[in-house]
Amino acid sequence: MSELYVGLMSGTSMDGIDAALVEFEQHHIKLRASHSQPIPPELRYKLQLLSLDAAEASIDMLGEADTELGQLFATATLQLLHSADTAPSAVTAIGCHGQTIRHRPDLEHRFSLQIGDASQITHLTGITTVNDFRRRDIAAGGEGAPLAPAFHQQVFSSPQESRAVLNIGGICNLTYLPATTNNATSNACSGFDCGPGNALMDAWIQQHKQQAYDQGGQWAASSTADPALLAQLMSDPFLQQPPPKSTGKEHYHLDWLKQKLVNHAGLSAAQVQATLCRFTSESVAMAVKQYLPSIKRLIVCGGGVHNGHLFNHLQRCLPDIQIESSEQHGVHPDWVEAMAFAWLARQTLQGLPGNLPAVTGADRPLVLGSITPA
């Protein structure tokens, strides 16, 4: 019998909520419908203040944003189901990643905080909601991230070739999928965050051009990267750190970039953007060469797949690897992450693990998430 789940994802860009209606039938996973719900500017501003630990942020702001975001997740779900002509009663559960406010696996008392009140989601939709996927993995000594690799393994593995999945969101993460005759084998699969994705490029163009992102990488392509700045960026300690590892805007943010620019005052804003684009592609290439030397194919998903300038430079950095969109494997690149959290919710309700210890560093496979029943 087939089952329907909804996956909700709000990434580090904080520009919108991705909602995916996913059908599971035996070993087949199908995207039935999708919807993108913009985050209102006022709420996005609050989320940015909270994530940067700004002076204006407060506990009251955190609590209100948690409630408001939960209501918005519910709205996104209902609009998705309306567009798909599907009743809420037909959906088994919602898997909600939530909005990451802080991700600090580097502290002595490590934690990862996502908001978006699951009680609001369940109350307004009438659908059981699974959220808070990262804490259980962290309790077991893991990073709590990335969590999508277990899903990548299910949908992108091949017994014929070793390949990897690259998600270019605000942060880039890689999933290694070795050639295997048993795609359910998790021991050989690995993954990790490998550096900045769109986060720095988006922050820079927002400051200088008041645009949410560099469409197609056109602004970066209008100039040339500065070798000295690129070398300084590539010396970032996170890039040298071995997996398992994860990061976020707590590390790669505008103030971090401005500190690096102190000794590069003569560069134009366009040169900086060109350098940031190169930084993303070259940090990915470095990670692939260092940790995934055997792969023949790199499957790319996430918003960065639409940055043609970035995509082309990545291919030049990795000339011996076939680089292609996840769409060529039957999954639209914009919806992979939301689908992953629908899959994770299903794993939770079936009492099955959602993490891969080789990816997160947890001491064992674990059932993830908290369940708010309808």
Express each pLDDT in 243-297 by its tens digit.
999 999 899 999 999 999 999 999 999 999 999 999 999 999 999 999 998 899 9
Express each pLDDT in 60-113 by its tens digit.
999 999 999 999 999 999 999 999 999 999 999 999 999 999 999 999 999 999
Q: For the chain, what percent of residues have pLDDT higher than 90?
A: 93
Please state, rounded to an integer, the average pLDDT across all residues of the chain: 95
DSSP 8-state code for residue 342 = H
pLDDT at 235 over 50: yes
Per the CB < 8 A criterion, the answer to whether 154 and 174 are in contact is no
Provide the CB-side half-sphere exposure for 236 (13 A, CA): 21
Q: Which two tokens stand for residue 371?
A: 């369940």
Where residue 1 falls among pLDDT bands split at 50, 70, 90?
confident
Q: Please state the domain extents for the chain.
A: 2-144+335-372, 149-329
Residues with Cβ < 8 Å from 29, sequence gap 6 or more? 22, 23, 154, 155, 339, 343
User: Does 3.40.50.2300 match the CATH number of domain 2-144+335-372?
Assistant: no
Closest CA to 7 of 87, 102, 95: 95
Specify the fold of 149-329: Nucleotidyltransferase; domain 5 (3.30.420)
CA dist., res. 123 & res. 120, Å (int): 5
2-144+335-372 and 149-329 share one CATH topology? yes
CA dist., res. 229 & res. 153, Å (int): 36
Express each pLDDT in 128-158 by its tens digit.
999 999 999 999 999 999 999 999 999 999 9
22 forms beta bridges with: 5, 31
pLDDT at 183 over 70: no
- At 185 the pLDDT is 45
Q: Which two tokens stand for residue 294?
A: 């055997």
Q: Which two tokens stand for residue 58?
A: 């407060």
pTM of the model: 0.93
For residue 237, whether the previous peptide bond is cis, meaning omega lies within 30 degrees of 0, is no
